[in-house]
A and B are shown apart, each in its own frame.
Chain A
Amino acid sequence: MNYGIKLLIWGDRACFTRPEMKAERVSYDVITPSAARGILEAIHWKPAIRWVIDSIKVLKPIRFESIRRNELGAKLPANSITKGIKEKSTAGVIKFIEEDRQQRATTLLRDVAYVITAHFELTDQAGTDDNAGKHLDIFNRRAKRGQYFHMPCMGNREFPAYFELVENDQELDSAPELKGEKDLGWMLHDIDFANDNTPLFYRAIMRDGLIEVPEILASEVKS
């Protein structure tokens, strides 16, 4: 039995931040499996199920743009607070936004569209009334009607991800610019929350716009 789903997602902007460049955020070339999972979970998720991303199809050419914003900077060190508590005075525990403003650039993606192919597995939290068919129905119904738990986003919440269910084996083609093979390098696959939040990486290869995503515990996925 195949419990797979296909979801078309698109948006004006996207930022799938590279973990090595997160102060001044630089996006990966394409959506990560973990961000794609987040989008599916925004539509339907229960502790009883776990989404598995099978492939990601990139429909539009990869283009970047930069935007710089005022953001909040560093946090206060804990010892200055413990000191404040010891001295029973809040005088030293002080932080003004005006003095802690950082201007950070984000290198983001423009005009993106993907087709996510995924399926889900039942977890050990699944109860007796959790069967795959039920969750598949819920997801498909919600995606078809445009329902969501919270509006899915393209990496950051300010970049909404619009979505539509792909039905009846409808084929969506990648832009001709994406023809051929492109090595996207090591990309974040997902975070292993069960094992002390270990990030897992995989070698993303895009062939004619299509990226096959290995199973999270496959041998090609490295932490």
Chain B
Amino acid sequence: MTAINNRYEFVYLFDVKNGNPNGDPDAGNLPRLDPETNQGLVTDVCLKRKIRNYVALEKENTAGFDIYLQEKSVLNNQHKKAYEALEIKHEAKKLPKDVAKARELTSWMCANFFDVRTFGAVMTTEINAGQVRGPIQLAFATSIDPIVPMEISITRMAVTNEKDLEKERTIGRKHIVPYGLYRVHGFISAKLAKQTGFSEDDLQLLWRSLTNMFEHDRSAARGEMAARKLVVFKHDNAMGNAPAHKLFDLVKVSRKDGEDGSPARRFSDYAIEVAQNLPEGVSVQEVF
């Protein structure tokens, strides 16, 4: 599989309605907030988890699309698979002394695991399979406007312990964001793709996962989450044709006229504009 030859950047917009897109373990699972601006946050690792989960669903048991960092998976077993497949004796903590063999291990991991060749992985565990830097780099997602998380008290008509029987019911808490539109920036390096073998097919799978991943991540906590827009900038040159920040500036998200001041509650409260004055050598694709 040949690696991609172009550099990409993308702007990805998703929204949440009456749900908690990403809880903050520091704040009792309240939706994450930027304390300086009150904008909502969703971490890069949260989104990567969803991409992994989507790929695991779509490519179930397909060779070459294993997911290394599975929920309920065995990390060192995966490494062991590599060693066993290549019949290399492993030495604790150190990379195999033979550089060629170490490289073989790493490339085996890249060829077999989608997330390793996409996001990279530090495989410097006790059974060492080296370190991989993946081509995809995601930043934190931030909401366009400040969000106001709400705490909802809920009751359950049952108790857990027998000794609480006379209480009859328990009260729980849910934290939700009434509405939030989040924006995240992503980077794809063609040169790192070459090192891990991240191919055109993988790229299409990545776009598919960004399109569909919330559809397969429904839960009581999340509410209604939806992917709203994916704008992809493709550079002709593998090194790129324009600075990333200039491209991101071309995608403007604003409140629609006359609605300033009132809280946004739906996607139609926002207008998205993709300026068409692209730098030379860059093409834009609005995937959806």
Give chain A's interface residues, CB within 8 Å of chain B.
12-13, 63, 65-72, 75-78, 81, 90, 93-98, 103, 105, 110, 142, 145-151, 153, 157-160, 162-164
Interface flags, B72-100, vs A, CB<8A=1, else 0: 11111100100000000000110000000
Contacting chain A: which of B165-173, B222-230, B235-243, B256-264?
A: B235-243
Complex CA distance for A13 and B189, rounded to whole angstroms:
21
Contact B92 A158 (CB under 8 A): no
CB pairs A–B below 8 angstroms (7 shown): A67-B41, A145-B241, A146-B243, A150-B133, A151-B189, A157-B137, A158-B45
Contact B80 A146 (CB under 8 A): no
Q: Which of A72, A105, A110, A150 has the most CB of B within 10 A?
A: A150
Q: Which residue of A lies closest to B243 (CB)?
A: A146
Q: Which residue of A lies closest to B72 (CB)?
A: A96
Q: Which residue of B lies closest to A94 (CB)?
A: B74
Picked from A67, A103, A148, the residue with its CB within 8 Å of the CB of B43 is A67
The A/B interface has a contact count, at CB < 8 Å, of 128
Number of contacting residues on B, CB 8 A?
Answer: 48
Is B191 in contact with chain A by the CB < 8 A criterion?
yes
Contact B80 A151 (CB under 8 A): no
Q: Which of B26, B73, B77, B243 has the most CB of A within 10 A?
A: B243
Q: How far is the CB of A143 from chain B (nearest CB, A)?
A: 9
Interface of A is mostly: mixed
Picked from B34, B36, B126, B185, the residue with its CB within 8 Å of the CB of A160 is B185
Chain B residues in 8 Å Cβ range of A65: 34-36
Contact A93 B77 (CB under 8 A): yes
Contact B137 A151 (CB under 8 A): yes
Complex CA distance for A95 and B125, rounded to whole angstroms:
12
Chain A residues in 8 Å Cβ range of B71: 97-98
Chain A residues in 8 Å Cβ range of B244: 146, 148, 151, 160, 162
Complex CA distance for A75 and B93, rounded to whole angstroms:
11
Complex CA distance for A148 and B242, rounded to whole angstroms:
10
Contact B191 A81 (CB under 8 A): no
Contact B74 A158 (CB under 8 A): no
Q: Which of B239-288 contact A (CB under 8 A)?
A: 239-246
Q: Which residue of A lies closest to B24 (CB)?
A: A68
